Amino acid sequence: MIAVLGLIAGVVAGLLVRPEVPAVVVPYLPIAVVAALDAVFGGLRAMLDGIFDDKVFVVSFLSNVVVAALIVFLGDQLGVGAQLSTGVVVVLGIRIFSNAAAIRRHVFRA
Amino acid sequence: MSSEEPAAQEETGGSEPAEQLTGRQRLLKGLWPPRVSRAQLIVALLLFVLGLGLAIQVRSNSESSALRGARQEDLVRILDELDNRTQRLEDEKQRLSGQRTELENSSDQAEEARKQTAEKERQLGVLAGTVAAQGPGITLTISDAAGAVEADALLDAIQELRAAGAEAIQINDVRVVAGTYLADGDDGVRVDGRKISAPYRFKVIGKPEDIEPALKIPGGVVQTLQKEQATVSVAREDKIVVDALRRANRPDYARSSSP
């Protein structure tokens, strides 16, 4: 419950406070958000599976974000930033979908 | 939650068929009642960060123009176009301001030319006798009791005056200009066809210090006239008004050849 409240609080804070994002981070923010979403869905699935572990969640969340940002950064350096971003988003999207399917099976029994 | 779940996992793992709704139950249990645990707080923190990033991203995406989502090549193209457009506008500005300067200059020049023309007209008017003139000068009065003064004597006087720098001359009420001619008529001297009679009063504008000696030099105009029994007087004056005018005649054939 507190976790859900944290998410809501984050969204509200982002909308209200309107913080200034440093220019260095701007290109990596969207991909990092997608990666974090993937981690969150994974965590939710793990919780429903009953194997949720906060340490694992924290590590997976942070490493997801860092690796995604790193890939984009590397892609930018190599000149294929847009393509790599697309690739990362596709992979993460597939994972999110599969996680969502597992969650759905748990919640709706279907 | 974390402290319980491994146990729960084992538990469910052990009796999976018995508890069909464990997943849903766990979800509900996690949602309500709210429990403050380390796991909950850490997850809440991470989700807070996620929500923040989500909101910022959505916001910056929706609030900014199409440029934010544009690809690099598109941005370069747009930048190029903007540069070109700036260049074009800059060129146009330069052209227009050049035109403006030109117009200003030309109107200034036109004004200046007009002034100079007016000034020249006045100067030429003095020479041509179409405008009145005033200035320092002398009056030369020739009283001809004997009637011995003829046109050539007056012409000599005029030549002498001109040579001495006279700028405007009138005899009685006739303006003397470049085209003036003098002739002896039956009844006296005619200047430009108009009869004039003694005493002949010359009104002359020029430098008095030059003109008076020029008239009075030995063997000059005054002496010559005096030999013919004429009475001649020369008087310097600070202000002479030459107000006899001539009509400006437009030449029939001669045209200015200067542009």
B134-242: CATH topology: Alpha-Beta Plaits (3.30.70)
Give the residue extent of every domain in chain B. 5-14+21-63, 69-128, 134-242
Enclosing H/E stretch for B183: strand B182-185
Q: What is the mean pLDDT of residues B165-194?
A: 86
Chain A residues in contact with chain B using a Cβ-Cβ cutoff of 8 Å: 1-15, 18-19, 21, 26, 29-30, 32-33, 36-37, 39-40, 43, 47-55, 57-58, 61, 82, 106-107, 109
- Put simply, whether B67 touches A (Cβ < 8 Å) is no
pLDDT range class, residue B1, cuts 50, 70, 90: very low
What pLDDT is recorded for position A95?
Answer: 92
Out of A6, A19, A32, name the one closest to residue B48 (CB): A6
Complex confidence, ipTM: 0.82
Nearest residue in chain A measured CA to CA from B73 = A82
What pLDDT is recorded for position B64?
Answer: 57
Nearest-Cα distance to chain A for B99, in Å, is: 45
Q: What is the pLDDT of residues B117-129, one digit of tens each?
A: 999 988 888 888 8
- What DSSP string runs through chain A? -HHHHHHHHHHHHHHHH-PPPPTTTGGGHHHHHHHHHHHHHHHHHHHHHT---HHHHHHHHHHHHHHHHHHHHHHHHHT-HHHHHHHHHHHHHHHHHHHHHHHHHHHH--
Give the residue extent of every domain in chain A. 23-108
Q: What is the pLDDT of residues B47-84, one digit of tens each?
A: 888 888 888 888 777 765 666 666 778 889 889 999 99
Residue B71 neighbours by CB under 8 Å, 6+ apart: A82
At residue B167, the 3 state secondary structure works out as coil
Question: Does B51 contact A61 at a Cβ distance shorter than 8 Å?
Answer: no
